[in-house]
Amino acid sequence: MSFELRDRDLMGRTGRLKTKGGTVETPAFLPVVNPFLQPISPRRMREEFRCGALITNAYILRKHFGDLPELEVHDHLDYDGVVATDSGAYQILVYGGVEATQDEIIAYQKRIGTDVGVILDHPTGWGVDRQRAEWTVEETLRRAQAALPLIDGDAALWMGPVQGGRYIDLVERSARAVGSMPFQIFALGSPTPVMERYLFTVLVDMVMAAKLNLPPERPLHLFGAGHPMMFSLAVALGCDMFDSAAYALYARDGRYILPYGTKRLSDLEHLPCTCPVCRRHDADELKGMLKSERTRALAEHNLYVSMAEIDAVKQAIAEGTLWELLEARSRSHPSLASALRHLANYRGALELGTPSTKRHGIFIYDSSSLARPEITRHIGRLDRNYRPPEGAERLLLVPAPSAKPFSDSEQYLRLVGVVKSALGCAANDVHVCFYAAPFGVTPAELSETYPLSQFETAEPMDRETLEFSATQAGRYVEANDYRSVFLLRGVGDLDVMVEDRCMKTCLKRGITFVVISDLEPWGDNAFKRIIKLLK
């Protein structure tokens, strides 16, 4: 196997997965193909929808055809892309068992020429008690170990499933154990009921429990993730591949998929999509079709939207805007918005996966943006690596100017000139820092460092963001050994909060604290007061 990583953002990455049947660009959506009932032919999926890989069910093929030695899965599907085959574990989850052993299913997948195979694990599912969940984890691990000699040396890639369901510690245990085995791809099982119930915060914990305990250099597949509105979330958590039949199942039920949700065709007066289906027909024409034709048209639309969203995710990773896409999609449903906020619990992991610099600035919309890796990184670097210039005993904390970079602004340059002119050599012990949302404190000499001058905020900022920023200002004062702190502040909410946090910190540490308050903090009167106090 070759898995070449290209771009990365958050925990998401784009890459190229080489299989014996071809190379797949990741993140990749693999449509589930029913080998006997399919509204879109696999050939059309390849040629018209640019689906480089799909997945079908080896157990169903075997049950229908038996062990016909001449059956080859690519020929049967008339598809020349990468074919993955599931083992029948989903049937275990739904029906309680399958009429085959793992040895038989693995041998069958090898015989029909699958490019990516799955061992016959035992899904945990949803709603089971802990004892049952523990049994499914141990049984899956037992089967994974037993599968190794059966797949050793095979040209196909094989997935090692991770189980545990909603029991996060079991997911961690399962991931560590299967991650020590030589599977080329790992897969998180049992997420479908979580997604069907819109329990996206649970999904975040499940995926992160697996991802943080698996070898990072190998791909992670997420079973049953088929709605495009959550692709960006799953990729941001580190998932490289997905599979689902949602595009076809929704079509049979008259449901119309969009990147931001699902609508019933019966409720639509217009088609808010630019795919070929929606440009050829209007809503009334789709409603008036025979059911079989309508199902096929909706399946095509749903698949177009799904593939387009995967491309949008890839592009976002390439240009470093995955967080922006994730924030936009989080407005699709309150549960997705909750999941976005829940990412704050994994700040460190998200920061490690994000490049230190990007080709563009970042946008801060509200408190949901506070978990952005760029903010986490700035605060961490200030805490761990930064110390004020040698000899700087007095901190002059000033509101950030309107122009960026702050240190090149007319207000700052005028302030520095006034201070140096009035104090002479004594000005060397005055250290100027800016305060602003969302980064808290920006030392003047760092203000051109990415992204401290490459960000835009939505105004007015919400109170949680202001409180977060003011708290960071207080933490900065506490972490550094200034003899005195002079706060030049305006009269806004952030100014008042910064004064409160800094004053409490200075009282706690016995540091002299002086406030220069002015309606025009960058005006001549404020400057005169600063000089008088500094002298």
- Cβ 118 vs Cβ 86: under 8 Å: yes
Q: What is the pLDDT of residue 90?
A: 79
Mean pLDDT of 18-43: 94
Is 90 exceeded by the pLDDT of residue 359?
A: no
**Cα(144)–Cα(118) distance, integer angstroms:** 10
Residue carrying the six token digits 């540490």: 509
Which residues, in sequence order, are CB contacts of 274 under 8 Å at separation 6+? Answer: none
Region 17-32: what's the mean pLDDT?
96
- How large a percentage of the chain has pLDDT more than 70? 100
For residue 36, what pLDDT is reported? Answer: 84
Which CATH code for domain 2-252? 3.20.20.105
Residue 518 burial (C-beta neighbours within 10 Å; 0-12, 13-18, 19+) = middle
String of b and e for 311-345 (b: at least 16 CB within 10 Å)? ebbbebbeebbbbbbbbbbbebbebbbebbebbee
pLDDT in tens, 285-330: 999 999 999 999 999 999 999 999 999 999 999 999 999 999 999 9
Q: Which residues contact 161 (CB under 8 A, 6 or more apart)?
A: 89, 118, 119, 121, 123, 140, 144, 178, 186, 187, 188, 189, 223
pTM of the model: 0.91
Mean pLDDT over 485-509 rounds to: 93
413 touches 371 (CB < 8 A): no
Burial (CB < 10 A; 0-12, 13-18, 19+), residue 410, is exposed
**Is it the case that residue 336 has pLDDT exceeding 80?**
yes
C-alpha to C-alpha distance for 136 and 211, rounded to whole angstroms: 19
Tell me the per-residue pLDDT of 131-170, one tens digit each, with 9 for 90 and over.
999 999 999 999 999 999 999 999 999 999 999 999 999 9
Give yes or no for a contact between 409 and 447, defined as CB atoms under 8 angstroms apart.
Answer: no
Q: What tokens does 328 get? A: 């936009």
How much is the pLDDT for 193? Answer: 79
> What gap in Å lies between CA 101 and CA 92, rounded to an integer?
12
Residue 349 CB: number of other CB atoms within 10 A? 19
Its sign, for the CA torsion 406, 410, 411, 415, is: positive
Distance from C-alpha of 412 to C-alpha of 403, rounded to nearest angstrom: 10
* Tokens representing residue 61 in the block: 């093929």
CA distance 241 to 30: 7
Q: Which of 470, 461, 191 is nearest to 339 (CA)?
A: 191
Q: Residue 365's Cα: distance from chain center in Å? A: 17
pLDDT digits (tens, 9 = 90+) for 167-205: 999 999 999 999 999 999 999 987 777 888 889 999 999
Q: Which residues belong to the active site?
A: 86
Distance of CA 59 to the CA centre of its chain: 33
Rounded Cα–Cα distance for residues 348 and 371 (Å): 9
Average pLDDT, the chain: 93
Task: Tell me what the mean pLDDT of segment 500-523 comes to.
Answer: 90
The pLDDT value recorded for residue 1 is 65
The string of pLDDT tens digits covering residues 446-484 is 999 999 999 999 999 999 999 999 999 999 999 999 999
Per the CATH hierarchy, to which homologous superfamily does domain 390-446+461-534 belong?
A: Uracil-DNA glycosylase-like (3.40.50.10630)
Segment holding 82, helix H or strand E: strand 82-86
pLDDT digits (tens, 9 = 90+) for 360-376: 889 999 999 999 999 99
The pLDDT tens digits of the residues spanning 79-132 come to: 999 999 999 887 887 777 888 899 999 999 999 999 999 999 999 988 899 999
What residue ranges do the domains of the chain occupy? Answer: 2-252, 390-446+461-534
> Is residue 437 over pLDDT 90?
yes
CB 219 within 8 Å of CB 26: yes
The pLDDT tens digits for 210-220 are 999 999 999 99
